[in-house]
Each structure stands twice: as structure tokens, then as C-alpha cells.
Structure 1
Amino acid sequence: MIPALLAQIGLPLLMKAVGAGLDHIDNPIAKTAAEGLKQVEAAVTKGDVTPEQIVVANRHTERMAEIELARDTETLKSVNRTIRAEVASEDAFVRRWRPSFGYAVALTWIMTMGAIAYAIILTPLQAPAIIAALVNTSPIWGIALGVLGVSVVKRSADKKLG
């Protein structure tokens, strides 16, 4: 009885909060979702959606969360195995690839930014074209900095565990 009561109180409250947030997003899909949540909230409030149906929905949500957690756990196990293999390797390059990659990215970033600053100072009229050309390199920088970021975060977590 109490779980059913909590589901009847909690679900409408959650739908109201999420719906209100979505309703403030200036996007037709978000507006449609907000309206749909209002309709579901009304159905729950009127009793068209039974407490038993809410319990089933909660069980499904819990199961989906368990599946995601299991997948994430397996992914982390795989990453940890890879890092342990790198650290245990006899090859110095394999052990040092993360710091080496970090230094290479940092050096390349400094050289690129220095060259761009120098070019803009020497030819200020070309600054818009230089900056536009720099924007075209953003995908490769995004990938390199993303890999570097993941490596740094993962290594920091490993050091905390060690």
C-alpha cells in the first residue's frame, strides 16, 4: 500500500518537474515532450494509470539501470586491464605513451597558437581569415584533446586507487 501511495505521489511530482523544465526549452520536441508528460501526469492523477502499472514501470526502469551499470562496469574492467598491461610492459614506450602523447599535444598546441598569434600580429588585416582557418582544425584538436583528457582523468583515478 505504501509503495503504491509513494508511486502515486512521486511520479506525478517528477513528471511535473521534468515537464516544467522541458517546457522552458525553446524547441518543438521539448514542448511536445512537456505536453506528453502533462497528459501522463493527468492520467496518473485521475487513476487511469494504476499503481500496479507504475510499479511495473519502476521495475523496468530499475532493470534498465542495472543493465547500464553492468555495461559500464565491463567497460571499466576492460580499460583497467589495458592500463595494467601498459604499466606491466617491458617496453618503455608502451609504459610512457600517455605522457608522451600529452607532451606532444601540448607542444603542438603551443606551436600552433604561437604561429597564429605571430601571423595575426604581422598581418592584422588577415586575422579573420586566420581565425576562420583555425576553426577548420577544431575536429582534429577535439579528438586529440579528448583522448588526452580521458587519459589524464583515467590516470588520475588509477593513482588514487594505487
Structure 2
Amino acid sequence: MMIPALIASVGLPLLAKAVGSALDGLDHPAAKTASAALAQVGQALSDRAITPEQVAEANRHLERMTELDSIEARAALAQVNASLRAEIRSEDWYVRRWRPTFGYAVAITWTATMAAIAWAIVAEPTQAPAIITALVNTSPIWGIALGVLGVAVVKRSQDKAVQPRP
């Protein structure tokens, strides 16, 4: 009972004040509204209008919601792993090879892109800022492609470690 009381009396008011101050610094009506609401919550916590028991109940609710999210994430991961295992066991050559094919395609594309950018910057140095800006704008695309490749490599390495050698 001591910890919820401590959180209610010190931690949450401090957090509400810090987040509220940060939001108040933003020039947006939603941020201003949220800042005012957090100030009211902080005041209610300081005045004990929100009791430590209510804070403890809110924490229990948050823990349960986090647990449910974790269960959902584990179920999704189990489905992905089952799909990967089915691909590996497949008799179809391409189904088993699409991940390495994707890896080679990403590597070749990455190399070609970087070579083209290097050549363009050397050939037209005055265009370097625009070229680099354009490259930065491709970061989300490369992030997804390289993320997929990273997961595929790690998963395939794990699968190879588990499979007995012929």
C-alpha cells in the first residue's frame, strides 16, 4: 500500500507537470488542451482527490492491458514462425528460396544505389545537397527492406542451427 501512495503523491504529479509543461510549449490547440488537463490531474493527485487506491487500480488496469498486448504479440510471432517453418519444409524450390533471392536483390540494389549516388556527387558536386536530401527521403523504404532482410537472415540462421545436418 505504501508504493501506490508514494507514486500518487510524488511520481504522478511530477510526471503530469513535466509532460504538461512540455505540451504547453507546443503551439497547437490539442497540446494546450492536453496540458491543461494534465495540470488538473496533477492538482487532483496533489489534493488527493484521486486516491492512492484509484492510482493502484489504474496501474492494475495498465498491467492487464500490457499483458493482453504481450499475449497478442506472442500469438502473431508464433504465426510468423509457423509460416517460416512451413516455407522451409516446402517441396517447392522457390518457396524455400524466396528469402535468399530477396537478400541478393536487396544487396544488389543497395550497391547500385550507393554507387550511383557516389558517382552523381562526384560528377555534379553542386547537386550534392539535393542528392543527399533525396537519399535521406529513401530511408523509410530502405529501413523496411533491410529490416525484412535482417529478420530473414536471423530466422534462417536459427533454423539452420536447429536442423540436423544431412
C-alpha distance 78-49 of structure 1, shift in aligned 2 (>3 A): same
**Partner of residue 68, structure 1:** 69
Q: What residue identity is the alignment partner of 1:110?
A: T
More displaced stretch, 53-62 vs 135-144: 135-144
The question of 1:127 aligning with 2:128 is answered: yes
**Partner of residue 83, structure 2:** 82
* Deviation, structure 1 residue 16: 4.3
Distance between the aligned counterparts of 1:48 and 1:161, measured in 2?
A: 58
Answer yes or no: is the 8 Å Cα contact 1:98–1:151 preserved in 2. Answer: yes
Answer yes or no: is the 8 Å Cα contact 1:87–1:95 preserved in 2. Answer: yes
Answer yes or no: is the 8 Å Cα contact 1:15–1:37 preserved in 2. Answer: no
Distance between the aligned counterparts of 2:59 and 2:119, measured in 1?
A: 60
**Partner of residue 5, structure 2:** 8
* Deviation, structure 1 residue 21: 4.8
RMSD, matched Cα:
3.2
Question: Quick one: percent identity of the two aligned structures?
Answer: 51
* Deviation, structure 1 residue 58: 2.2
Distance between the aligned counterparts of 1:37 and 1:69, measured in 2?
A: 28
Secondary structure of 2:94's partner?
helix
How does the TM-score come out when normalised to structure 1? 0.73
* Deviation, structure 1 residue 60: 1.6
More displaced stretch, 143-152 vs 113-122: 143-152
**Partner of residue 100, structure 2:** 99
**Partner of residue 57, structure 1:** 58
More displaced stretch, 57-66 vs 125-134: 125-134
**Partner of residue 48, structure 1:** 49
How does the TM-score come out when normalised to structure 2? 0.72
Distance between the aligned counterparts of 2:117 and 2:32, measured in 1?
A: 44
* Deviation, structure 1 residue 9: 0.6
Distance between the aligned counterparts of 2:118 and 2:40, measured in 1?
A: 56
Aligned pairs, number: 158
Answer yes or no: is the 8 Å Cα contact 2:17–2:38 preserved in 1. Answer: no
Secondary structure of 1:109's partner?
helix
